Amino acid sequence: MHKDMEGRVILITGAGNGIGREAARQMAARGALVGVNDLKEEFVEAAVREITDQGGKAFGVVQNISTREGIQAAVRQAAQVGGRFDALVNNAAWVRYQAVPDIQPETVDRMLDVGFKAVIWGIQAAAEAMDPERGGAIVNVASTAALRSTLNSVVYSGIKAGILGITRAAAAELGARRIRVNAVCPSAVPTEGTQRNRNAERDALRAARTPLGRLGNVQDIARGICFLVSDDAGFITAQSLVVDGGVTFTNI
């Protein structure tokens, strides 16, 4: 594989599983030194081991990023270990789908802390850690739910739509410092995080409604994240890349 990310130091939040873990694996395969963040030590250890077993470079950042101090500490640790700081992927989320009458304050607070406020504090910490001359890249993981909503997703859709606004506003402000800020909007792909909401029947229906004829997977989404972090996207900022096999904007 072409090592176009050699020398880059990249932190990915919630990278102990799912999309974040695969993005970490792909970036390490392209030569990056990847800080693998998660709150669970065993997830971090397994993800780092997978990368190093494949010849990549990674280190663990065990940290709960749901507070400003938490994400600041994660960015600081990555910058210290790597000696520089080039990119942040705001990927972690804690998600519950609830019908309007069932929405509880504790659920909303936790979803906001991990999935929304951490994006703001992450951008703040990353911008401070990045070299003012060299700049860097920030990718926020949103969702197709930001663009087209489904049942029981008032909180989730709201947060993910908000992330697109944050992305554009941060891109406007940080462009002068050569920091690009983009978002990825994945469709539903099988991960630990989505297991509770999936079944074979629903997956088959989704695949049939998708122009490309299948569900996505973590590899598909991670490739989109890697593209936006990479220099291939050097003149791309304030964008939302929809990685969904075409399902969001079609009706078949």
Ligand X SMILES: NC(=O)c1ccc[n+]([C@@H]2O[C@H](COP(=O)([O-])OP(=O)(O)OC[C@H]3O[C@@H](n4cnc5c(N)ncnc54)[C@H](O)[C@@H]3O)[C@@H](O)[C@H]2O)c1
Binding site for ligand X (CB under 6 A): 13-14, 16-20, 37-40, 43, 64-66, 91-95, 114, 141, 143, 186, 188-189, 191-194
Contact 131, 81 (CB under 8 A): no
Nearer to ligand X, 43 or 85 (CB): 43
Phi and psi, residue 9, nearest 5° = -110, 120
Q: Give the separation between CA 138 and CA 5, rounded to whole angstroms.
A: 15
Taking 3-state DSSP, the helix, strand and coil percentages for the chain, each rounded to the nearest 5, stand at 50, 15, 35
Q: Which residues are catalytic?
A: 156
Q: Which is nearer to ligand X, 137 or 188 (CB)?
A: 188
- Nearest residue (CB) to ligand X, 33 versus 155: 155
- Contact (Cβ atoms closer than 8 angstroms) between residue 18 and residue 225: no
Least distance (Å) between residue 186 CB and ligand X? 4
Q: How far apart are CA 68 and CA 153, in angstroms?
A: 25
Query: Would you state the structure tokens that stand for residue 162, as one six-digit string?
Result: 């908000």
**In the complex with ligand X, which residue's Cβ is closer, 179 or 185?**
185
Neighbours of 94 (CB within 10 A): 16
Q: What's the closest the beta carbon of residue 244 comes to ligand X, in angstroms?
A: 9
Tell me the closest approach of the beta carbon of residue 185 to ligand X, in angstroms: 7
Nearest residue (CB) to ligand X, 19 versus 226: 19
SS3 137: strand
Kindly state the smallest distance separating residue 135's Cβ from ligand X, in Å: 24
> Strand order of the sheet with strand 33-38?
57-62, 33-38, 9-12, 87-90, 136-141, 179-186, 240-243
Q: How far is the CB of 177 from ligand X (least distance, A)?
A: 25
Query: What backbone torsions phi and psi does residue 47 show, to the nearest 5 degrees?
Result: -70, -45
Tokens 């990674």 belong to which residue? 58
Residue type for 146, please?
A
Dihedral sign for Cα atoms in the order 113, 116, 119, 125:
negative
